[in-house]
Structure 1
């Protein structure tokens, strides 16, 4: 099955949902909406019991595609909500377990996407970064809730304030990843974990997952509304323009606080 740049294959009760925008898999609103459509389709597919979220190419997802225009960031109405985050919350609202195969960089909103799965498999060469402060921009994609929920408030603050990247081994030590393996085994290990989950009673798995994630969708609606409202005014600042330019040019930002 194909949903735009998202391919889905289903075998042995496990759906491999693959992002196909190599090498960096930059996202825009359309990609996240297509991904949410794929997740919805697998929720409706009785033969699917677990999903693996994977990506082609060098990176898992290197962040937003700013070259696609301001629609990546702009709100759709005056309520602090934009279509990107509406689609993002849909991803967190799916019913079936998801294992992430994080074979490369997961940066910015790409880190937010990497935190959609229940579990993450990664390798030493992968990197995880919340580089929003380097862009002159507030974190989004629900990260201000999901990241501290996984690694703790202190470590999340360190990643947000510095914008630094951490490698796969440190991600594993911090609990950001659940399995550390070699780069060529990331997807295979993710599939193996998904198959282990799929071997259990599906109604029980879906039920306990819903219990453990109770209130998450409502929380993320509120969180992404706040993130979007902060991003809305910050994207108009000189610092944001400088941040995007400096990251693209791989140089330190020259920020003015304006």
Structure 2
């Protein structure tokens, strides 16, 4: 398969998975478990959506690896790995807030951000009726329109962020917000990192920062931002909660300086 072929498959799988998530939400949400804290929930739909994606890949890409939020890692032999968050924004999903998404990416190399090369990605927000896609070297797209990050923020940068589920981390997250407000027009906290990153790619946000994200939270969104002309970095890799920052080149660099200075 070419990168474009993989891009078409990623988009198709993300849309099918998104439709399953949307239909299950309409039927009512059943909580399956909590994870790191009581606020960190998983629904039956998370597991069902991830299983749908795994079944598609076993049929169409059986030699590829897999890294998913709900079912973990499985090494493949092809050199490609699918990095999947079946429902990013599960709390939004459980509460009936439409800001949730299915995030699907295929990467080449080891499934670690600093060691992989993104090949194709899709973020499907089914309750919002939106699909964002990217293929390496071919740009990022939404409804036939090529995406581009913002390059000029004369009124200050509109930034997205998120907080960890553990209350013990909230003071540090809020300290980081205070630090970056010196460059911000305002801050949005929408509850799905994949959507936040898609919005950066689309110029709806100027930048994004968040600690403690996992690979499946940002794999697709990172390629969207990069293919839209932006930059994505992780800082403090030795920490328990590395920082991810993304944005147009200027916003990315300013965020990097402020977050580094904050020590948060």
TM-score by length of 1: 0.27
Higher relative strand content: 2
Structure richer in helix, relative to its length: 1
Q: When the two structures are superposed, what TM-score results if normalisation uses the length of structure 2?
A: 0.27
